[in-house]
């Protein structure tokens, strides 16, 4: 049995919502019903989420994915359709019934973390258990376990304000894990995080998932993230689900032009960006310090060259080479200014992989990756770029082989764009 | 009566008898709710008399209680003391109470009625805010006593405190309702506008009729005039709590009242406190008006100064009002800074 099943789900905002649903069912377009003064946010969405699966809903902002996820735990009432959680239809559930379902079965992780700022990390992690009415000692023990799971053991007595964005979201994750429910809704959970932290969190989620086997519905607008996390991906546009399939299927067999455009030019090196494969920069010296300090750092870590980064805001100034630093020390220079080589071939974090090859080939050092403020956010060593390419080639290869193709379509075709098919399949 | 008035109505030379209607309405209101009005009158009047007598001639019990509170503040302010186990909290309270008894005895000895309360104000100023403010409070209240305005200042303080407490008790729940329900919000907004913009003296007239000369009509007018910001800022504070955080409460199955208690009220508390601060300031601005219908206190002194064109009298009473205003404002602002959410936002490693 599916852990979560949606059947012909509609959410229309406005007074004449019911009328609008009628018209939409008779084939009216989104624009036509907009004349009624209503906003259809989700139109005829049907899908099933299997237990233990990560189901990603991907779409641009305004595509209805946030509305969709909020209907799954009843934060917003569906205008029409059915939602089965563990086989129970929750669309007509109200008040206490709905709260009971949320306590027992579904937890949620939020885009901006939604921690309670006046409570400690432990109290936040224990929040769901508090609501469930668990005695104090027991719930703090459980919360501490959950915090350990996400790598925040011992941070319990801090306040959210003392944590970085990534750590805050770990608390959000711990709160959801501590609740002990089988189903987790994650609403753009990593979208507010820096690229490297985001990657880390994605890896951690996958790692946790491999042992916990939760059912996860994950909302994102980030294709890279959807590809990395999703066992299956549903692509949404203008309130409708336009395709459901595995990452390979969505890439290789887009259901329509929109999806095709979304997955960008078929070539994955044009989909994945520098930020999705970059690694933390190891060889960094302070651009404002003197050559002596730089020499010390470089000798310590045995580097031949290092990125010179400003003390304020990590701004990348350039690169310094070992022989220049040594001669600067010998000359008795007070600052690194004269010997910083500014020609480092830095690439923006949104640069596609395809555009990284030329600079990477020209440059003996790892490519520095910078953001809009020219801050050093990571590096792409040549070996990383090459191994990323190798794994992409793998994916393409396996997806092309007929046997694999048949297997994946067998599982996933059923949830294609024809919602009625999926519905019948579910009833049978 | 309304009909009688409108019979002779000439559309080109209109005279709409709103004033008459208001009079009729007030008369009807008084006749109908006489028992309720008497109850309110007795309640408010009694509370005022009790508090102002207690502040002017503080009994040993009051001073001991206040010093017990100060002992608690002292214990809570200094982390090394707080780090001791919870049960030790009794110790500072008892010690404080004992000190209070001593101070009261000293006041008796020196035949000074204001000494004990002055020390209480200064200590509260220090413990709630800073040592500098403690010194300021001591000096400022000493000046009030020096101007021979102490008793009147305590009367005004009583009037303001009771009015503010009642305005808060009505205003904050109303603000919560308005934040929860758009209908309530839409319904009370024009009423609040009306209450705030109607010249405050107008309230004096019907309340005077209903309650007679004395402190009660002044307090009622003060409550009506000072309440709106309390309602508005409470509504604003609760509505502005991050939607996602409220959703988090709902998503984990918390019932609405618990969300209000655990999430919305704590997060809105700084804004609500700002509202209460406004209520206090508006209440203080009403003391002179209240004096016009017979409330005692500093306002009466200002009115007399005006009637007799006596600059010293007006200046001294006015300055005493300013001292009260500064003291109350800074204390409430400091209390707002102690809201858990503000404290947590300041925590650093």
Q: Is residue A163 part of a domain?
A: no
Cα–Cα distance measured from residue A135 to residue A139, given in angstroms and rounded to the nearest whole number: 6
pLDDT at A412: 36
Q: Is residue A285 part of a domain?
A: yes
Per CB-CB distance under 8 Å, the chain B contacts of A75 are 247, 250-251
A120: closest chain B residue by CA: B344
Cα–Cα distance measured from residue B148 to residue A235, given in angstroms and rounded to the nearest whole number: 79
Q: Is residue A220 part of a domain?
A: no
Higher local confidence (pLDDT), B298 or A301: B298
Residue A351, domain CATH: 3.10.580.10
ipTM value of the model? Answer: 0.79
Q: Å from B208 to nearest chain A CA?
A: 46
B256: closest chain A residue by CA: A95
Q: Is residue A319 part of a domain?
A: yes
B245: closest chain A residue by CA: A114
Q: Is residue A99 part of a domain?
A: no
Interval B79-96: pLDDT, tens:
776 666 666 777 778 888
Asked if residues A50 and A215 have their Cβ atoms less than 8 Å apart, the reply is yes
Give residues with Cβ within 8 angstroms of B254, minimum separation 6: A99, A131, B262, B263
Q: Å from B248 to nearest chain A CA?
A: 6
Per CB-CB distance under 8 Å, the chain A contacts of B244 are 110-112, 114
Interval A390-405: pLDDT, tens:
766 554 444 444 433 3
- For chain B, list residues with pLDDT below 50: 1-4
Q: Which CATH architecture has domain B22-56+148-349?
A: Orthogonal Bundle (1.10)
Interval A214-264: pLDDT, tens:
999 999 988 888 888 888 999 998 889 999 988 777 876 778 878 877 775
**How crowded is the C-beta side of A44, counted as CA atoms within 13 Å?**
23
Q: Is residue A395 part of a domain?
A: no
Count of the separate structural domains present in chain A: 1
Q: Is A129 left (phi over 0), alpha (psi -120 to 50) or beta?
A: alpha
Cα–Cα distance measured from residue A316 to residue A353, given in angstroms and rounded to the nearest whole number: 21
For tokens 């809903």, the residue is: A57
Is the model's pLDDT at A270 over the cut of 90? no
Contact B242 A112 (CB under 8 A): yes
Tokens found for residue B48: 């005022």
Contact A162 B348 (CB under 8 A): yes
Higher local confidence (pLDDT), A413 or A315: A315
pLDDT at A305: 84
Domain residue spans of chain B: 22-56+148-349, 58-146
* Nearest Cα residue to A136 out of A123, A149, A148: A123
Contact B340 A118 (CB under 8 A): yes
Q: Is residue A194 part of a domain?
A: no
- Residue B148 main-chain phi, psi, to 5 deg: 65, 30
Asked if residues B306 and B314 have their Cβ atoms less than 8 Å apart, the reply is yes
Q: State the alpha helices, DSSP H only, in chain B.
A: 2-7, 18-32, 34-56, 60-77, 79-83, 90-110, 115-128, 131-146, 150-180, 182-197, 200-211, 215-239, 243-251, 256-259, 265-285, 287-292, 298-307, 311-337, 340-346
Domain span at A300: 275-382
Q: Is residue A340 part of a domain?
A: yes
């Amino acid at each position: 049995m599916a852990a979560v099943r949606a059947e012909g789900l509609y959410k229309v905002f406005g007074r004449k919502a019911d009328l609008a649903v009628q018209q939409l069912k008779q084939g009216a377009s989104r624009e036509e019903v907009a004349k009624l003064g209503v906003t259809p946010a989700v139109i005829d969405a049907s899908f099933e989420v299997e237990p233990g699966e990560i189901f990603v809903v991907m779409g641009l902002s305004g595509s209805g994915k946030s509305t969709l996820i909020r209907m799954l735990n009843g934060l917003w009432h569906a205008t029409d359709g059915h939602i089965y959680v563990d086989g129970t239809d929750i669309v007509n559930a109200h008040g206490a019934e709905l709260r009971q379902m949320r306590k027992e079965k579904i937890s949620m992780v939020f885009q901006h973390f939604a921690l309670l700022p006046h409570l400690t990390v432990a109290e936040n992690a224990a929040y769901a258990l508090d609501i469930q009415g668990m005695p104090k000692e027991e719930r703090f023990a459980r919360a501490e376990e959950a915090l350990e799971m996400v790598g925040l053991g011992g941070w319990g007595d801090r306040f959210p304000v003392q944590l970085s964005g990534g750590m805050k979201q770990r608390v959000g994750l711990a709160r959801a894990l501590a609740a002990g429910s089988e189903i987790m809704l994650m609403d753009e959970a990593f979208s507010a995080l820096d690229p490297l932290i985001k990657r880390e969190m994605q890896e951690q989620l996958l790692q946790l998932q491999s042992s916990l086997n939760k059912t996860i519905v994950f909302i994102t607008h980030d294709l890279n993230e959807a590809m990395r996390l999703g066992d299956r991906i549903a692509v949404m546009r203008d309130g409708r689900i336009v395709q459901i399939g595995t990452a390979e299927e969505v890439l290789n067999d887009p259901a329509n032009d929109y999806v095709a455009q979304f997955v960008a030019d078929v070539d994955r090196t044009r989909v994945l960006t520098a930020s999705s494969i970059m690694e933390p920069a190891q060889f960094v010296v302070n651009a404002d310090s003197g050559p002596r300090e730089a020499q010390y750092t470089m000798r310590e870590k045995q580097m031949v060259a290092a990125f010179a980064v400003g003390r304020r805001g990590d701004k990348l100034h350039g690169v310094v080479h070992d022989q220049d630093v040594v001669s600067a020390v010998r000359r008795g220079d007070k600052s690194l200014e004269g010997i910083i080589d500014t020609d480092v071939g830095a690439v923006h974090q949104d640069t596609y992989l395809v555009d990284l090859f030329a600079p990477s080939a020209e440059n003996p050092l790892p490519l520095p990756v910078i953001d809009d403020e020219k801050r050093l956010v990571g590096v792409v060593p040549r070996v990383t770029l090459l191994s990323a390419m190798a794994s992409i080639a793998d994916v393409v290869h396996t997806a092309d082989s007929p046997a694999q193709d048949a297997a994946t379509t067998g599982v996933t075709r059923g949830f294609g764009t024809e919602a009625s098919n999926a519905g019948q399949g579910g009833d049978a | 009566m309304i009909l009688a008035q409108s019979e002779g109505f000439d559309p080109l030379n209109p005279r709409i008898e709103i004033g008459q209607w208001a009079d009729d309405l007030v008369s009807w209101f008084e006749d109908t709710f006489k028992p309720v009005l008497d109850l309110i009158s007795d309640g408010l009047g009694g509370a005022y008399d009790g508090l102002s007598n207690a502040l002017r001639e503080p009994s040993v019990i009051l001073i001991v209680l206040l010093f017990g509170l100060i002992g608690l503040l002292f214990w809570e302010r200094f982390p090394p003391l707080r780090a001791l186990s919870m049960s030790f909290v009794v110790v500072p309270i008892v010690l404080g109470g004992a000190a209070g008894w001593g101070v009261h005895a000293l006041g008796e000895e020196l035949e000074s009625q204001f000494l004990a309360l002055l020390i209480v104000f200064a200590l509260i100023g220090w413990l709630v805010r800073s040592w500098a403010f403690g010194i300021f409070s001591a000096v400022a209240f000493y000046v009030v006593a020096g101007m021979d305005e102490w008793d009147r200042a305590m009367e005004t303080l009583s009037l303001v405190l009771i009015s503010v407490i009642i305005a808060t008790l009505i205003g904050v729940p109303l603000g919560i309702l308005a934040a929860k329900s758009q209908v309530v919000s839409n319904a009370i907004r024009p009423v609040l506008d009306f209450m705030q913009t109607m010249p405050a003296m107008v309230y004096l007239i019907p309340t005077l009729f209903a309650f007679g000369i004395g402190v009660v009509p002044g307090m009622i007018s003060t409550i009506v005039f000072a309440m709106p910001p309390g309602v508005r800022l409470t509504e604003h504070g609760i509505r502005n709590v991050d939607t996602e955080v409220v959703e988090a409460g709902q998503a984990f199955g918390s019932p609405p009242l618990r969300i209000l208690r655990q999430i919305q009220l704590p997060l809105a508390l700084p804004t609500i406190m700002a509202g209460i601060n406004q209520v206090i300031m508006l209440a203080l601005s009403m003391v002179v008006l209240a004096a016009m219908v017979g409330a005692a206190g500093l306002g009466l002194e200002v009115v007399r100064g005006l009637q007799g064109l006596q600059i010293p009298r007006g200046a001294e009473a006015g300055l005493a009002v300013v001292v009260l205003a500064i003291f109350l404002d800074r204390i409430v602002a400091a209390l707002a800074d102690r809201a858990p959410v503000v404290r947590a936002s300041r925590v650093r490693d």
